[in-house]
Structure 1
Amino acid sequence: MDCAATILRRAVIVAFVACTALAPVRSDCADVDMARILAPTGHLRAGLYPGTPTSVLPDGTDNPRGVGYTIGKEMARQLHVDYAPVVFPRNAEVLEAVKSGAVDVAFTNASPARAKNMDFGPVYLEIELGYLVPDGSPLSDIGDVDATGRKVGVTAGSTSDATLGRELKNATLVRAPTLKDATNMLASHQIDAFATNKATLFEMTEQVPGSRVLDGRWGEERHAIAIPKGREAGLDFLRSFTAHIRSSGLVSAAADRAGLKGVVAPGK
């Protein structure tokens, strides 16, 4: 055997031994590497916020409803790490946690502004954006909202905040710290309408008797898995994982279980 062949054979042996040492309970060394990239603490810390079926709806059980919660649980299973959901009061705090690396993944609208601070996998869910109005409101469709004297609520730091802050020409934007605050503001008629994705709006109707979601939409949210910058090596996994959760029916099943409405139909 010549010198080059001997060196190559030794390199293969070293690589094999290293892989075995890294993954004593797994057969694929790539699984270990991917877990180290996407869940470096050994736990998949998933950033979530309550009050919307797109994220999590806490119910006091070990398996709460919510598309984000369910996706995170499956992702941890495929990475062979523990699942560690971290629930924040507001989505803005989830986004900040992704940016700082305090959480490993989040499930949120993949807007261009957010892509500056985090990386996204492919879209797994598209949801209409709309308005919720309180009992007795004279508003009948979304075209009635942007009028002088109207007060439109948004969650501070949300996509709706950024977008409607630019697009509303006559109505006044009112920022609520949390969805719970927004619900109270709508019920007490402090605002004339509240804007966000329709999945959340339909969930809020249960808390505000007589409220209704207006027909039409003023935009769409495209939800995708977000990871902190610097973990780009995990994007191939996110692409294949997203394809799996869509084709397997996991996303649609989680959406149905959470009672999620306002999903954009394919081709629309």
Structure 2
Amino acid sequence: MTQPTPSPALVSAFAPTGTLRASINLGNPILANKDVATGEPQGVSIDLAREFGRRLGVSVELVVFEKAAASVDAVKNEKADIGFFAIDPARSEGLRFTAPYVLIEGSYLVRDASELTDNAQIDREGHRISVGAGSAYDLFLTREIGQAEIVRLQGAAPALAALRSGQVEVAAGIRQLLEAEALREPGVRVLPGRFMVIQQAMGTPASRGAEAQALLAAFVEEMKATGFVADALRRHRIEGAVVAPTA
């Protein structure tokens, strides 16, 4: 069922400038990327942002970033009103999250010549794992890795390049990205399975209040239940992600 029209106070809480500023992370191609023809952002997160703006009755401004950490900071610092992030305890301060709307696998990439064949072999002394600094998998591995070294680089592309150049033994990332890298040029392969499930949710500054969080949470649940998220994934031809269960 469609949620009732938000009160003027709630609209003001979400869009104090009169425009809903949506923080968009282009570093996660499952959620957002650029249209090849127009160069404009497109994807599931953009569709959700525009639909939420329509519900509020305000225009939507896309505030675009290349990396997740910068996208998160924009919302925390109230340079944006909503954002699309992986849920992680390290990001909880200053943000209010919804339940996830999409689940994405985090996996490992190794060189073809590597003796590594299983995720359980990764956390060993002498292994170096490249990650995009501040990404969901960086935050997760920072907590979970005890023996291997994490090499933090500025984005997914440098992390993948570090593997090919021999700077590291393993690259961690979104499974879809790693599979695309393996297809792009021979020499690397994705290990079977996953080391984590990335829960992609919507978030808003904590200062907007519990009522705003509840409205955003209800919106996400409706978008899952009505098939909006599933339709967006199909429309944008996204593989490697599934709609999260309703809360």
When the two structures are superposed, what TM-score results if normalisation uses the length of structure 1? 0.79
Is 1:162 matched with 2:162? no
**Cα distance, 1:266–1:98 mapped onto 2, change above 3 Å:** closer
Equivalence for 2:8: 32
Q: Match for 1:90 among 67, 74, 89?
A: 67
Shift, 1:99, TM fit:
0.8
Cα distance in structure 2, aligned partners of 1:258 and 1:65? 12
1:166-181 equivalence runs, <5 A: 166-181=143-158
Q: Which runs of 5+ in 2 are unaligned?
A: none
Is 1:105 matched with 2:85? no
1:179-258 equivalence runs, <5 A: 179-232=156-209, 233-256=211-234, 257-258=236-237
Q: Is the 8 A contact 2:25 2:68 kept in 1?
A: yes
**Structure index of larger Rg:** 1
Q: Match for 1:133 among 110, 116, 139?
A: 110
**Cα distance, 1:241–1:190 mapped onto 2, change above 3 Å:** same
User: Alpha-carbon deviations, 1:72-111, whole Å to 9, x = none?
Assistant: 1221122221121111121111111111100111111122
Shift, 1:38, TM fit:
0.9
Shift, 1:63, TM fit:
6.0
Aligned residues between the structures: 240
2:217 counterpart letter in structure 1: R
Cα distance in structure 1, aligned partners of 2:8 and 2:116? 55
Is 1:43 matched with 2:22? no
Greater fraction of residues in helix = 1
**Cα distance, 1:100–1:237 mapped onto 2, change above 3 Å:** same
Cα distance in structure 2, aligned partners of 1:212 and 1:89? 25
Cα distance in structure 1, aligned partners of 2:82 and 2:184? 29
Q: Match for 1:147 among 124, 143, 156?
A: 124
Greater fraction of residues in strand = 2
2:105 counterpart letter in structure 1: E
Q: Is the 8 A contact 2:104 2:197 kept in 1?
A: yes
Identity in percent:
33
Q: Is the 8 A contact 1:105 1:227 kept in 2?
A: yes
Q: Which runs of 5+ in 1 are unaligned?
A: 1-27
1:182 counterpart letter in structure 2: A
Equivalence for 1:260: 239
Cα distance in structure 1, aligned partners of 2:245 and 2:207? 32
